[in-house]
Amino acid sequence: MAATATQQVREWTGLQQFPVATQTALINILGKLRQQNVDSLTVVVMGKGGVGKSSTVNSLVGERVAVVSAFQSETTRPLQCSRARAGFTLNIIDTPGLVEGGCVNDQAVDIIRRFLLNKTIDVMLYVDRLDGYRVDNLDKQVMRAITRCFGSQIWRIGIVVLTHAQLSPADGVEYLEFVSKRSAALQEAIRQSAGLKKSDKEVPICLVENSGRCNVNSGGEKILPNETVWLLSLVERIVEVATSENKSILVDKKLIDGPDANRRGKLWIPLVLLAQFLLIVWPIRKAIQRDLEEEKQHRPQWEIRAEEFRRSSGIFEDDRADEQAITEALQQDDIALDQLNDFDDDDDDIYD
């Protein structure tokens, strides 16, 4: 949970923009981290574009650190905001939307991975909208893209943040019932896309309303239809995940590049050769030996006796010697014939 040395850390002045009750609660919550010797926290915000990632970052910091516009993408490159207060540093990294043209933007994914190189992720906020009525294939593609980049472990330190949480569900559905169904659908999609087991703990859900139309309580704190002060609830959940038994993720070069396919393939070479020998070479050898034995057993008796007689009487060796002598004689004849041809060629040159 070390702060990034290359990022300029500023005093967390935005904390003073919150209502007094929120300031006090936030200081108490962050004090729990200091008690556990945690002096910094890095939170990465990811998801599709236009779902409220940058607005959520601004709400957490209490400052307008990320540009938000209804007519353009929230951000085109990752943006890190580092704020310090009473010896504690909060690093929040806003990222570009992962979708372009109806599919996952691989370029944006690569930019995010390389921006996070040598950084430690303590908490990942996966941002989507509460007022979505289904989880489609594109949502699952985004979840799989995040899993491919950082492994399934990223979801164990993840929180699903649902924006636009101040809504009135249609068709007379109760607010809490709608939230429950929407949350369950996203959690199941994450479990399937990330390959998590059913026994694994569900990714927690937090509701957020970033707009200025959000209802407030008597203390001026933004609240949801269920009377929850959402900012405090989100920060509490972030601290809970950061201090859980799940380890933070160090984004190193190995994680970005993935396993070495060539090296992994080389490990299989001895096993492949062994399998080839046992399944192909060895059966062929045994078949050849078996054929030779069967051929030897089925030879005519007169041929076997003739061979034994030749070996015992020395005829077999004499035949080999005769063959060698004939071969040498033929070689000598070839040499003599070549010399004669050369002599004839010389005579022809003289007459010419």
Q: What is the pLDDT of residues 126-164, one digit of tens each?
A: 999 999 888 999 999 999 999 999 999 999 999 999 999
Which residue in 233, 236, 158, 242 sits closest to 200, CA to CA?
158
Mean pLDDT of 298-303: 68
Mean pLDDT of 306-327: 65
**CA–CA gap between residue 3 and residue 108 (Å, rounded):** 24
Strands 40-47 and 123-129: parallel
How does the average pLDDT of the chain come out, rounded?
84
In DSSP terms, 44 is beta-bridged to 93, 124
> What CA–CA distances, in Å, run from 147 to 111, 151, 152, 194, 259?
16, 5, 5, 6, 15
**Is a pLDDT exceeding 50 seen at residue 125?**
yes
**Is a pLDDT exceeding 90 seen at residue 305?**
no
Predicted local distance difference test score (pLDDT) of residue 205: 97
**CA–CA gap between residue 332 and residue 334 (Å, rounded):** 5
Give the model's confidence band at 234: pLDDT under 50 very low, under 70 low, under 90 confident, else very high: very high
Which percentage of the chain shows pLDDT scores above 70? 79
**Which DSSP symbol is given to 129?**
E
Mean pLDDT of 313-323: 62
Among left, alpha and beta (phi > 0; psi -120 to 50; other), residue 157 is alpha
**Is a pLDDT exceeding 60 seen at residue 193?**
yes
Give the model's confidence band at 209: pLDDT under 50 very low, under 70 low, under 90 confident, else very high: very high
What amino acid occupies position 93? I
Q: Reduce the DSSP state of residue 160 to 3 states and report it.
A: strand
Give the model's confidence band at 238: pLDDT under 50 very low, under 70 low, under 90 confident, else very high: very high
Mean pLDDT of 16-20: 91
**Is a pLDDT exceeding 80 seen at residue 319?**
no
Q: Which two tokens stand for residue 57?
A: 């970052």
Q: Are 177 and 226 in contact (CB under 8 A)?
A: no
**CA–CA gap between residue 118 and residue 251 (Å, rounded):** 5
**What is the full DSSP assignment across 278-297?**
IIIIHHHHHHHHHHHHHHHH
Which residue in 118, 82, 120, 86 sits closest to 2, CA to CA?
120
Q: What are the backbone dihedrals phi and psi of residue 68, each rounded to the nearest 5 degrees, phi first?
A: -125, 125
Predicted local distance difference test score (pLDDT) of residue 329: 72
Predicted local distance difference test score (pLDDT) of residue 72: 58
Q: pLDDT: is 73 or 145 the higher one?
A: 145
**CA–CA gap between residue 75 and residue 54 (Å, rounded):** 8
Which percentage of the chain shows pLDDT scores above 90? 49
